[in-house]
Every structure is written in structure tokens, then in C-alpha cells.
Amino acid sequence: PSVAKNDPTQPVCYERGNGANNVWKSWVKGNIGEPNAVHWELIKGRGLRIGSHGDPAMFPFSIWQPLLDKCSYHTGYTSMWREEYAQEYRGFLQASCTSLVEQQEAVEKGWTGTYTTYAKDVNLDDMPGVECPNNKDKSIKCSSCRLCDGKHHIKNHDHGLPYKVRTETVCK
């Protein structure tokens, strides 16, 4: 769904889709084949950010499972955590939440990992979960932290492009 860019109560997606669209066009043209032994060997033992372009829950979990079996760790998020088809991702992806109410709803639905962002005026010490380690140490990146694996509740302030950052809480 399209969201007005100045509505601080609504979640926004950082993804523009250009990269994913180009991959799709190549797939449709037949320029991308099925993975083979060489590809699997390249993936083996490496980390995987599931869905770095788009929401991974848009695909059946069976698509991701072979990749997860080969990787040493993964991180990933879904904004579709309320949808029935996304429930198979509980324990593997973070439910992407934008308020305490959403975070609590996700936990009630059985999500064991959440990534919840709050407006800049919210004291993160008052919110449940572990604060994103990058807030206190910028040298810690997702690839070294690895907490966003569907098993931890992580909290953070809105970050990224300035027009997507809520400066004050409109609703909890």
C-alpha cells in the first residue's frame, strides 16, 4: 500500500524496488537459471539477509529453506506478520513493528522476534526488548550482531531518510 510520506503514524518502506525489478526482468527473460552446485558452494557457511529487496514472506518458506540450510546465520524482517501466509516465518524473521501496540500484538500472535521502531521522543529504556547494539557502537553491523534472526525482540528509534523519521509520538 502507498503511504503519504508525511504521515508519521504509518509505516513506510525503504525499498524502492529497482534492484529487485531488474532481477525479476532477468528471470523472465531466462537469464537466471536454477541454482547449481557452484552456487550452493558459494552460499555455504555465509550469512544471509533474507529479503533485502522486498518482503520475504511474499514467498513460501520452502523457497528460503534450502538457503537457510546452507547459511551459517541469517537476519530478516517481515511487515506482513499479521497475515496468515506469513505465520510460517515465526522464529525465522522479525515481525517489523512501528509501535508498542504492534509489538505486543505480534508477541500475542506467537512471534518470537520483533524489530520495533519508535519516534525519536520515546525513551527506549521504557520499551520491551534489547536496544539495537548499533545505537551505542556504530562499528556493530547487522552481519556481526545477528540478533534479528526471528528469536529476539529488538527496539530502535526510527532511522534512515529524514522524511521517514517520526520526531514525536502521534499514537502509541
Per-residue pLDDT tens over the stretch 22-65:
777 887 898 888 888 888 888 899 999 887 667 999 989 998 99
C-alpha pair distances (Å), 60 with each of 24, 64, 83:
17, 8, 13
Per-residue pLDDT tens over the stretch 134-158:
999 999 998 899 999 999 999 999 8
- For residue 76, the cross-strand partners are 50
* Chain Cα centroid distance, residue 55: 8
Supply the pTM of this predicted model: 0.78
